Amino acid sequence: MESILRWYTPHSAVRKYIKILAEIVHLLTGTSSVQDAREEQIAHMMADYGTAIKRICLMYLKDPGLAEEAAQDTFVKAYYKINTLHDEHAERAWLSAIAVNTCKDYLRRSWIKRRGKDVSLEQLYIEPSSCREDRQLVEAIASLDKEHKAMILMRYYQGLRVSEIAEQLHCSQSSVYRRLEKAEQLLRDYMEE
């Protein structure tokens, strides 16, 4: 009889429809009674993490205008997804993952793809007064592909633990370790050139 118990729920297609309909209804009806509390929470997050998130977006998109839009969109998404944040100590990791995914979405846009991959230091608007080592490292990180860049930014810039990155990016810790190792190797290669 176990085989019977496996599929006792309504048909998955029906459930999917119900979910989509509920989301559309939510979209059309707009606000709720917890709106104020959510806004307050987002305001705190922007104050605490806004700048770091914007810099992650800049490292990813290499365009200050786009980075500004992406950083704003990160907090808009956070506002609508706030109920998925179950551990308030994981805010930094949670926001970083949203920012990384927002930037990936931006990079999928056709006109950004056409813009080209090689971005010079000037386009990154790196502070001219920065020391040479810092400039080299930032340039090296900016040159990484998006997966490895995400690892470096989340682990070393945001200071997240491997377990936090794995949880937010929905992958195993060993996978994070492997990608980090590879990313560090790529950075070393870039710096030695």
Binding site for other proteins (CB under 8 A): 1-5, 7-11, 13-14, 17, 20-21, 24, 27-28, 30, 39, 42-43, 46, 50-51, 53-55, 58-59, 64, 67-68, 71-73, 75-76, 79, 124-127, 130-131, 133-135, 137-138, 141, 152-153, 155-157, 159
Which CB, 114 or 131, lies closer to other proteins? 131
For the chain, how big is the Rg over CA atoms in Å? 20
CA–CA gap between residue 134 and residue 19 (Å, rounded): 48
> CA–CA separation, 128 vs 114, rounded Å?
28
Tell me the closest approach of the beta carbon of residue 51 to other proteins, in angstroms.
5
Pair 106, 112: CB distance under 8 Å? yes
Nearest-approach distance from CB 172 to other proteins, in angstroms = 20
Residue 152 or residue 176: which is nearer to other proteins going by CB?
Answer: 152
> What's the 3-state SS for 134-163?
HHHHHHHHHHCCHHHHHHHHHHHHCCCCHH
